[in-house]
């Protein structure tokens, strides 16, 4: 039998779990029978095939989900080239399936804003103790007597309002009642504001289900069965959509390759030569 080069032997080291001494494969239990060795090696081949198949299935699932999400983002970016403008009252009445919004005549009461971490878990500690605090507030029509379900939440991104909310939650956590009341008086028009909001919406029945589920469980107001979470100032993620599609496609191809490889493990001549060498040792 032609001698194998060291590189090929090392390549299939994990296949047979042998030990190499001076470039030659030596089976650790050389004293056992050839039949037993054969069974052990066949078991190693089965394990290897199973590992390849599992990794292939995982990459196929990951690639499918990632590519599908990217395709959905691309569809939105193609369909909605401009933000749809309407009043907040019209949005609550029509509840359109629109992702890129520009709403006018909105009433935003930042006194009722909630603090969450990046997983959507509500927080009672100070924002300064968190890595990336998320401030969420309900968007309502300008009519102060509106008592319907909340159709839209907003993730606050404006730096001036985030700074204001930092102070508000810091004073609450520290029990500084006087400072809190003074802040509410000085910033009354900013804290209870009539304003326009603009951004990109994800719905509670969409891809970000975990975050929406936690917010539904912990948000103090009554949320609609299908509500939206608007990220302030964000545009449709066209570039992110292409990246997700490319990454998902790469995972799909890798998964298919691993699944095909798992079906061909025993057909690899070099691996069979290593097995034969060990069996004859």
Domains and CATH numbers, the chain: 6-62+245-279 (no CATH), 81-235 (2.40.50)
pTM score of the predicted model: 0.60
Q: pLDDT at position 274, please?
A: 52
What is the percent of the chain where pLDDT is above 90?
9
The 10s digit of each residue's pLDDT in 88-114 is 999 988 888 888 889 999 999 898 888
Mean pLDDT of 241-259: 88
C-alpha radius of gyration, the chain, whole number: 30
Mean pLDDT of 130-136: 84
- 40 pLDDT exceeds 90? no
Where residue 86 falls among pLDDT bands split at 50, 70, 90?
very high
Structure tokens belonging to residue 164: 């204001």
The 10s digit of each residue's pLDDT in 137-174 is 989 998 888 888 888 899 898 898 999 988 988 888 88
The greatest distance separating any two alpha carbons of the chain, rounded to the nearest whole angstrom, comes to 91
Structure tokens belonging to residue 119: 């997983």
Residues 6+ apart with CB under 8 A from 273: 1, 4
Q: pLDDT at position 169, please?
A: 87
Mean pLDDT of 110-123: 80
- 13 pLDDT exceeds 50? no
What letter does residue 131 receive in the DSSP assignment?
A: S
Mean pLDDT of 64-82: 80
* 234 Rama sector, left if φ>0, alpha if ψ -120 to 50, beta otherwise: beta
The 10s digit of each residue's pLDDT in 189-229 is 888 888 999 988 888 765 555 666 667 776 767 778 788 88
State the Cα–Cα distance between residues 115 and 127, nearest whole angstrom. 8
Mean pLDDT in the chain? 77
């Amino acid at each position: 039998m032609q001698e194998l080069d060291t590189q090929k032997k090392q390549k299939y080291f994990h296949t047979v779990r042998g030990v190499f001494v001076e470039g030659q494969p030596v089976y650790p239990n050389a004293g056992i029978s050839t039949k037993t060795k054969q069974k052990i090696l066949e078991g190693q081949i089965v394990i290897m095939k199973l590992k390849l198949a599992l990794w292939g299935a995982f990459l196929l699932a990951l690639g499918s989900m990632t590519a599908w999400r990217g395709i959905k983002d691309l569809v939105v970016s193609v369909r909605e080239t401009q933000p749809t403008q309407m009043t907040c009252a019209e949005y609550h009445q029509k509840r359109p399936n629109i992702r890129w919004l520009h709403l006018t005549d909105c009433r935003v009461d930042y006194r009722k804003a909630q603090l969450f971490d990046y997983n959507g878990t509500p927080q009672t500690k100070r924002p300064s103790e968190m890595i990336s605090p998320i401030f969420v507030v309900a968007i309502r029509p300008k009519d102060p007597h509106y008592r319907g379900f909340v159709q839209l939440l907003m993730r606050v991104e404006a730096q001036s309002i985030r700074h204001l909310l930092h102070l508000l939650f810091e004073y609450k956590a520290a029990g500084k009642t006087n400072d809190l009341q003074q802040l509410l008086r000085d910033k009354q028009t900013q804290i209870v504001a009539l304003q326009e909001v603009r951004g990109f919406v994800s719905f509670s029945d969409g891809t970000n289900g975990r975050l929406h589920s936690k917010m539904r469980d912990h948000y103090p107001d009554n949320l609609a069965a299908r509500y939206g979470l608007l990220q302030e100032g964000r545009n449709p993620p066209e570039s992110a959509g292409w990246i997700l599609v490319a990454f998902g496609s790469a995972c799909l191809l890798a998964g298919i390759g691993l699944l095909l490889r798992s079906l061909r493990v025993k057909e690899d001549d070099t691996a069979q030569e290593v097995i034969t060498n060990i069996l004859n040792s």
